Amino acid sequence: MNGRERFRRIMDFERPDRLPLYEWLGFWKDTLDRWYGEGLPPGMAVEDYFDFDKTEILPIDFGPIPRFVPRTLEEDDRYKIVINEKGIIAKHLKTSTSMPSFLAFPVKSREDFHKIKVRFNPKDPRRYPITWSDELIEYYKALDRPLRLRFPGFFWQARDLMGLPYLSIAFFREKRLLHEFFDFWADFIIETSEEALSVVRPDYVDFAEDMSYKNGPHISPRFFEDFIQPSYCKVTSFLRSKGIDVIAVDTDGDPSLLLPSLIEAGVNCLIPLEVAAGMDVGRLRKAYGRKLRFIGGIDKRALALGGTHLEAEVRRRFQEAKGGGYIPSVDHSVPVDVSFQNYCRYVELRRELMHDL
């Protein structure tokens, strides 16, 4: 059984020959820097070192074209203030890869939104790779590993353009703007991907959202249903018309309050299931049955602790994977407090358990 067949069987709640070995959300740069000093050969990709199963990304560009010109606006010994290719101005600490402080965003009014729309022309040929051709289409059709399509979700893209403070206020004071934006973004996703999805069927599609944090979602269920759910329905209906069966939302934190609305909107997969935020695969499987599939759910804190904590966590998640519909993976990018020794043991244990179905 190849990787593509294996992925589809699991997502269809069928029994594969084994569970795949993915790290779905990868690794922080600081983590890799640490591991290169602890035994990972310098410059070598973790996926190659451990011979992970492979996936492939359908490379459609959903970003602004042309990009904003990235440049440094201010700099001192500790910090650098830059404008990035999305037009966001942020303050970065030079000594680590911690999250930056966001200072300004390109959309501060309805007029700004109409100005920036010209950068989101769905028919711009630069949205597709220069290798786009019948040859590439045949390559994707013949893949022996899962093909993935990922695009910015509705909350994510609104936050990227407006910033979270302005977006939060806009749900009360700029309702017309938000309705217009979410309608626009649904049409943009559909029109941008139409050409590709007419000839290629990805095995998995996900909305990058990050619309929740440890204590719950950033948006209330009522606001989600009023503002965003109709646009979700429009896109998920389009995706299913193209034969795409697995439609995921990638959000950190605890989105539990939004799950009924997301399911109603056509979503049937959730990642990465952060355990520190109370997300538990076993509990969610009992609550939603086959309405939801899962990728993630292995507590990164247990990997950092190692020993019996690591062993118990991995064994528990692999036990929950029996019956299909769930691919265990770390519940976010692997952080710097996970030693290379602990990660090696984690991979070793996964290989021991992957055939225990």
pLDDT digit string, tens, across residues 166-214? 999 999 999 999 999 999 999 999 999 999 999 999 999 999 999 999 9
* Pair 75, 169 in one domain: no
Give residue-wise pLDDT tens across range 297-328: 999 999 999 999 999 999 999 999 998 999 99
* Same-domain status, 189 and 331: yes
* Alpha-carbon gap, residue 146 to 126, rounded angstroms: 24
The long-range contacts involving 99-103, CB below 8 angstroms and separated by at least 24 positions, are 102/163
149 shares a domain with 7: yes
User: Is residue 318 domain-shared with residue 261, that is, in the same domain?
Assistant: yes
Residues 234 and 130 in one domain: yes
Q: Looking at residue 357, what is its pLDDT?
A: 84
Residue ranges of the chain with per-residue pLDDT less than 50: none
For residues 82 and 184, membership in a common domain is answered with no
Residues 85 and 224 occupy one common structural domain: no
Q: Which domain covers residue 99, as residue numbers? A: 69-105
Q: Which of 53, 267, 57, 247 is nearest to 149 (CA)?
A: 57
Q: Which of 83, 105, 127 is the last residue of a domain?
A: 105
DSSP string for residues in 50-117: TT----EE-----S-SSPP--EEEEE-SSEEEEE-TTS-EEEEETTS-PPPEEEE-S-SSHHHHHHHG
pLDDT of 62 reads 98
Whether residue 56 is found in the same domain as residue 82: no
| pLDDT for residue 94 | 81
Residues 38 and 129 in one domain: yes
How far is residue 98's CA from residue 194's CA, in Å, rounded to a whole number?
Answer: 37
Confidence at residue 97, expressed as pLDDT on a 0 to 100 scale: 65
Cα–Cα distance between 45 and 31 in angstroms, integer?
12
In the DSSP assignment, the letter for residue 224 is I
**Same structural domain, 90 and 207:** no
Whether the Cβ atoms of residue 211 and residue 250 lie closer than 8 Å to each other? no
List the CATH number of the domain containing 337.
Answer: 3.20.20.210
Count of domains for the chain:
2
Whether 272 and 335 share a structural domain: yes
- CA 170 and chain centroid, separation: 25
**76 and 213 inside one domain:** no
Predicted pLDDT of residue 185: 98
pLDDT at res. 99 = 77
Which of 81, 105, 129 is where one domain is finished?
105
Separation of alpha carbons 18 and 10, rounded Å? 9
Looking at 52, 81, 105, the residue that finishes a domain is 105
- Beta-bridged to residue 92, according to DSSP, are 80
